[in-house]
Chain A
Amino acid sequence: MVVWQLAAMALGHGGLFLSTPVQTLQALAVQFPTAQFWHRIAFSALRILAGFVLALVGGLVLGAAGARWHTVRVLLGPPMQLIRAMPVASFVILALLWVSSANLSVVVSFTHVLPVIYAGVMGGIADTDPQLLEMARVYRLPLSKRLRYIWLPGVFPSLSESCIAAMGMCWKSGVSAEVIGLPDHSVGDALYRAKITLSTPDVFAWTLVIVLLSALLSAVAARGLRWLKTRLCGEVKAP
């Protein structure tokens, strides 16, 4: 904070090129009580989280299919690599041809998170203890028990890491999409407006909001996944 304050003071021009922490917090304090501020956050968060949830479901299904069938793995490999390598901006411009700008962040966060979750699920399945799987085979455990007590605990560590990383990624890609697509009432739109009006403290304030939301939701995702693991893979209940 001190370095930031000193750097902003050194650059001068009233924080035009680098706003001070105080200016940033003041800009945030002005926005914070307004309905528009919360409306923008809700608008963006809902769409970005929808993209994340869709990617989670898709990644689980495709990852499981990829781990089970070699053909699926071979077919999905190139598109997953392509999506990973593609710049967000290129994908946003293409996606604007297919969907409205209001739903752009759903599509962009979905496509950028899907390969991460897919790789996490595949990695988790590969890490599942083969000795436990043999035990399940010998004891003829039903599929539901194998899934719950062997596969899920095996997949969870890798899936959790992927989800936490993906949560940060989907915010970055989702807001980038909004800055290009400019859907009304979005965080990306607010960021863009702050930039074109040279309101640097607002740019910093919105960036701070995005970083905080991303960190908060990553923490919530991590905690939620731990809770889910305990609930799903915990002690066996007597029949």
Chain B
Amino acid sequence: MSIVVEHLEKRFGSRTVLRDFSLQVNGPLVIMGPSGCGKTTLLRILMGLESPDEGTVTGVERVGAVFQENRLCPQLTAAGNIVLTGGDPQNAEAELRALGFGDKDLALPSVRLSGGQKRRAALLRALLCPQAGTLLLDEPFTGMDAELVAQAAGTIRRLAGERDTVLVTHDENAAALLGWPVVQMHPYQDS
């Protein structure tokens, strides 16, 4: 099933963020664009957290999401956060290890993890959510160095599979590593 976005319009007060925006997502996709062009707003509409002022969105299944912020339960470990949304504990631990988590990191509550570790945990929470038919990933490479970005991109490619995925990033290298179709978004400007 594909996600179809038609003639989307979203305003915040007098500021128009999206205007007559249409998109079809059939499998994985990368969206790139400058700050303020409405990428995060688009993802929040797809997540059902914002309502569009005009236009329609269809085909979004249960969502696995990486938000702009990590949004991990601070008292739970990285694996605990993944299990919370339905992930398999053994699988969670193995994938966390593959992304650089050691025994000590696995035992820590997420509040005590570094920014990059929290980001990786948030990313795996989305990818390992078994019910998620749609993946919406907002800047998932934030706080990662080049080596980790390459590893994370490989993990995303492998675990996302053929699910409808919208990944927002401003990192051209990461987009190239993913090798997915890229859509450029441009900021809306009143003429």
Instruction: List residues of chain B with CB within 8 A of the CB of A132.
Output: 71, 73
Selected from A134, A139, A150, A235, the residue in CB contact (under 8 A) with B129 is A139
**B62 at interface, CB cutoff 8 A:** yes
Selected from A135, A141, A234, the residue in CB contact (under 8 A) with B67 is A135
B75 close to A233 (CB less than 8 A): yes
B76 close to A139 (CB less than 8 A): no
A236 close to B76 (CB less than 8 A): yes
Within 8 A of B (CB), among A185-222: none
A138 close to B63 (CB less than 8 A): yes
Q: Given A134-B49, A149-B73, A235-B76, decide whether A140 and B84 contact each other with a Cβ distance below 8 A.
A: no
Instruction: List residues of chain B with CB within 8 A of the CB of A235.
Output: 76-77, 80
**B65 at interface, CB cutoff 8 A:** yes
Instruction: List residues of chain B with CB within 8 A of the CB of A135.
Output: 65, 67, 71
State the CA gap A238–B92 with chains docked (Å): 11
State the CA gap A140–B77 with chains docked (Å): 20
State the CA gap A236–B176 with chains docked (Å): 36
Distance between A237 CB and nearest chain B CB, rounded to angstroms: 8
Q: Given A138-B48, A139-B65, A139-B129, decide whether A236 and B71 contact each other with a Cβ distance below 8 A.
A: no
Distance between B129 CB and nearest chain A CB, rounded to angstroms: 7
Instruction: List residues of chain B with CB within 8 A of the CB of A131.
Output: 67, 69, 71
Q: How many residues of B contact A (CB 8 A)?
A: 24
**A39 at interface, CB cutoff 8 A:** no
B80 close to A236 (CB less than 8 A): yes
**B36 at interface, CB cutoff 8 A:** no
Instruction: List residues of chain B with CB within 8 A of the CB of A141.
Output: 84-85
Distance between A136 CB and nearest chain B CB, rounded to angstroms: 9
**B137 at interface, CB cutoff 8 A:** no
Instruction: List residues of chain A with CB within 8 A of the CB of B73.
Output: 132, 149-150, 153
State the CA gap A132–B65 with chains docked (Å): 12
Instruction: List residues of chain A with CB within 8 A of the CB of B48.
Output: 137-138
Within 8 A of A (CB), among B42-101: 47-49, 62-65, 67, 69, 71, 73-77, 80, 83-86, 88-89
State the CA gap A140–B76 with chains docked (Å): 18
Q: Which interface residue of A131, A138, A140, A141 has the most chain B CB atoms within 10 A?
A: A138
A138 close to B47 (CB less than 8 A): yes
Instruction: List residues of chain B with CB within 8 A of the CB of A233.
Output: 75
State the CA gap A230–B64 with chains docked (Å): 28
Instruction: List residues of chain A with CB within 8 A of the CB of B62.
Output: 140
State the CA gap A224–B63 with chains docked (Å): 38
A139 close to B63 (CB less than 8 A): yes
Selected from A137, A138, A149, A238, the residue in CB contact (under 8 A) with B76 is A149
**A145 at interface, CB cutoff 8 A:** yes
State the CA gap A58–B135 with chains docked (Å): 42
Among residues of B, the one whose C-beta sits closest to the C-beta of A156 is B75
Instruction: List residues of chain A with CB within 8 A of the CB of B71.
Output: 131-132, 134-135
Name B residues whose Cβ lies closer than 8 Å to a Cβ of A. 47-49, 62-65, 67, 69, 71, 73-77, 80, 83-86, 88-89, 129, 131
Can you name 18 A-B pairs with beta carbons within 8 Å? Answer: A131-B67, A134-B49, A134-B67, A135-B65, A137-B48, A138-B48, A139-B64, A139-B86, A140-B62, A140-B131, A141-B84, A145-B84, A149-B73, A149-B84, A150-B73, A153-B75, A234-B76, A236-B84
Shortest 10 CB-CB contacts between residues of A and residues of B: A135-B71, A238-B89, A236-B83, A139-B85, A236-B80, A235-B80, A138-B65, A138-B47, A236-B84, A131-B71
Name A residues whose Cβ lies closer than 8 Å to a Cβ of B. 131-132, 134-135, 137-141, 145, 149-150, 153, 233-236, 238
Taking A138-B47, A139-B64, A150-B73 as given, write out 16 further A-B residue pairs in contact, using a Cβ cutoff of 8 Å, ordered by the A residue number. Answer: A131-B67, A131-B71, A132-B73, A134-B49, A134-B67, A137-B48, A137-B49, A138-B65, A145-B84, A149-B76, A234-B75, A234-B76, A235-B77, A236-B83, A238-B83, A238-B88
